[in-house]
Structures are given as C-alpha cells and as structure tokens.
C-alpha cells in the first residue's frame, strides 16, 4: 500500500503505554503502600511522616498505585502511524459518502491498547481480537492481534487495513440504524442457530463495507498497489470462522459460525470493492428477513 505521507487521524486514542490506570492528579496517586512506606521512612529518619508526605505531594513525582507507564517497544510506532492513516482514510471516504446523502458522518474513535481494556462493552482481553463497541462508538485494536494474523498466514499492510475497515463498517451499521434493527431481529430469534445466522449477516455486511471503503480510498488517493486486494481477500479468508475452527482442531460446524465462512467473506468484500456502493451490501435482504 502507498500510505506514507498521507493524513493521520486525530481520533486515535493510544493507551498502550499508560499502564492500567489513567493518569490521576498527583495527590490521588498515593496508595496505602506508599503512605505506609513514607511513614516507615519518616520514623527511621526521625522525621515527621506528615511533613514527608507534604514534600512528596508537592513534588509532582507521585507514583501511580497501578502499573507504571510501559516503555515503547521500537518499531511499534510505524504500525500505529499506519493505523492512524487508515482510520483517516475511512473518515474521508465515509464522510464524503454521508455528506453526498445530506448527512453528517460521526467519526468513531480508535483505541490502541494492549493486555485488555475496559470499554463500554465490558472488559476485553486482547485475545478477543479487534472489536467495535456500539455503546461508546469506538474501535478497539490491539496491535498484538496483528501478530496473531501473521500466525494465521496473513501478512501485508492491506490485510491490516481490511481489519480496521471492517470494524469501521460496524460503526457505519451503528450510525445508520442497522445495528439497532439487528438487535431487534436477534431478540426475536427462536434459537441460538438463528441468532448466529443473524450475526453472520452483520459480519458479512461489515466485510462488504470494508470493500466499499477500499474502492473509494483507492479512487480518492490511489493507495492500492499490485497485490493489495489479494492480501485483503487472503485476510478475509483467513479470518473466516471455518478456518478458525479448523485451526482450533474442531470439526467445521456451520451453525456455530458468527462471522461467515472464508468463501462468504471473500465474496462480500469483493462485492463492495467492485461496486463501491453500500446499496450492494444486501446481506440481510438476501437472507429474506
Ligand atoms: Zn466484525
């Protein structure tokens, strides 16, 4: 992909190096352990612990009671910049599409995290992979997941772009009301199989939206290079539930699918990519709901 020098998004919230606690005002950082330590040190030095505490609070070197900020591993920033450029591209594409329909596109935030995060959708470990939370309109992405993709045989920057575009596709479903409709359908589902089938339709539509993005991103900024689409399709195929199940050593069981088969994901990504029109992403219509 040709992405260097392109605009980066202002909507990335990078919390990878913050430790588990958000930064608190200095005075609030003193935990019981630290207070006890100051008390002991104060007694040992023959000083008034309260005075020591006072000095400590004024010095702005408070220690978080939770984990410390982590050091940045080298080479990670390139990946973070890439993510930011792709998010900016989705903003441009969807912003233009919404405004040509006379609407405003509410841009989602993208949270880069590591080792689990608290979202409006609950606590998620990085093992769950990237996800979109409709409650806070944020895409959550752990760069560690990209290593997992690598393990599945997916490589290349477009594959990563596809994953982001898919999550942004869920955001589009949310702000256009499809998500609400989906919840309603799902609450009326008569069986787990039916509920799963509905989830598959949501996922395939998000794949189709990722394809729509790829189409427009390329015509707006010529970001695609030879082989990029194959990379995207490879990613779509690799993350298909049938492949996942096979890799997990289970028999492929279509009723348990929540993302769609590799073949379905490729098909819908291609549909969106070729048409560049969200009206072709008719996964629900085709299921005759
Ligand atoms: Zn999805």
Q: Between 167 and 30, whose confidence is greater?
A: 167
pLDDT bin (cut points 50, 70, 90) of residue 215 is very high
pLDDT bin (cut points 50, 70, 90) of residue 27 is very low
Closest by Cα among 212, 127, 199 to 165: 212
What is the predicted pLDDT for the residue at 179?
93
Mean pLDDT over residues 9-20, rounded? Answer: 84
Residue showing tokens 């100051």: 38
The answer on pLDDT for 90 being more than 90 is: yes
Judged on CB neighbours under 10 Å (0-12, 13-18, 19+), 102 is exposed
Q: What is the pTM of this model?
A: 0.77
CA of 140 from ligand 1 middle (Å) equals: 12
Mean pLDDT of the chain: 79
Residue showing tokens 């990078």: 14
Mean pLDDT over residues 82-102, rounded? Answer: 96
CA of 42 from ligand 1 middle (Å) equals: 55
Give residue-wise pLDDT tens across range 240-280.
666 666 666 666 666 666 778 888 989 999 999 999 999 99
pLDDT bin (cut points 50, 70, 90) of residue 74 is low
CA of 172 from ligand 1 middle (Å) equals: 12
CA of 202 from ligand 1 middle (Å) equals: 7
Q: Token pair of 10, please?
A: 């202002």
Sheet holding 131-133, edge to edge: 12-14, 109-113, 138-142, 131-133
The answer on pLDDT for 222 being more than 90 is: no
How many CB atoms within 10 Å of residue 59?
9
Q: Token pair of 22, please?
A: 């958000």
CA of 271 from ligand 1 middle (Å) equals: 17
CA of 210 from ligand 1 middle (Å) equals: 10
What is the predicted pLDDT for the residue at 254?
64
């Amino acid at each position: 992909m040709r992405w260097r020098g392109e605009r980066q998004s202002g909507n990335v919230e990078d919390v990878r190096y913050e430790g588990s606690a958000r930064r608190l005002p200095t005075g609030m950082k003193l935990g019981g352990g630290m207070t006890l330590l100051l008390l002991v040190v104060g007694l040992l030095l023959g000083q008034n612990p309260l005075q020591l505490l006072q000095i400590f609070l004024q010095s702005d070197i408070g220690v978080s009671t939770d984990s410390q900020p982590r050091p940045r591993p080298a080479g990670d920033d390139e990946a973070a910049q890439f993510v930011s450029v792709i998010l900016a591209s989705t903003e441009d594409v969807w912003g233009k599409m919404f405004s040509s329909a006379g609407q405003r596109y509410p841009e989602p935030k993208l949270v880069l995290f590591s080792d689990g995060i608290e979202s409006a959708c609950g606590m998620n470990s990085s093992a769950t992979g990237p996800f979109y939370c409709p409650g806070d309109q944020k895409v959550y992405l752990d760069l560690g997941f990209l290593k997992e993709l690598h393990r599945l045989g997916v490589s290349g920057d477009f594959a990563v772009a596809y994953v982001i575009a898919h999550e942004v596709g869920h955001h589009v479903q949310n702000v256009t009301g499809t998500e609400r409709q989906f919840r309603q359908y799902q609450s009326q589902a008569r069986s787990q199989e039916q509920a799963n089938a509905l989830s598959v339709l949501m996922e395939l539509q998000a794949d189709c939206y990722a394809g729509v993005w790829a189409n427009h991103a390329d015509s707006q900024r010529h970001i695609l290079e030879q082989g990029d689409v194959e990379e995207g399709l490879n990613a779509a195929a690799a993350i298909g539930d049938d492949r996942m199940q096979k890799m997990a050593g289970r028999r492929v069981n279509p009723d348990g699918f929540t993302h769609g088969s590799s073949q379905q994901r490729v098909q819908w990504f291609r549909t969106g990519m070729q048409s560049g029109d969200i009206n072709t992403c008719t996964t629900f219509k085709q299921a005759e709901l």
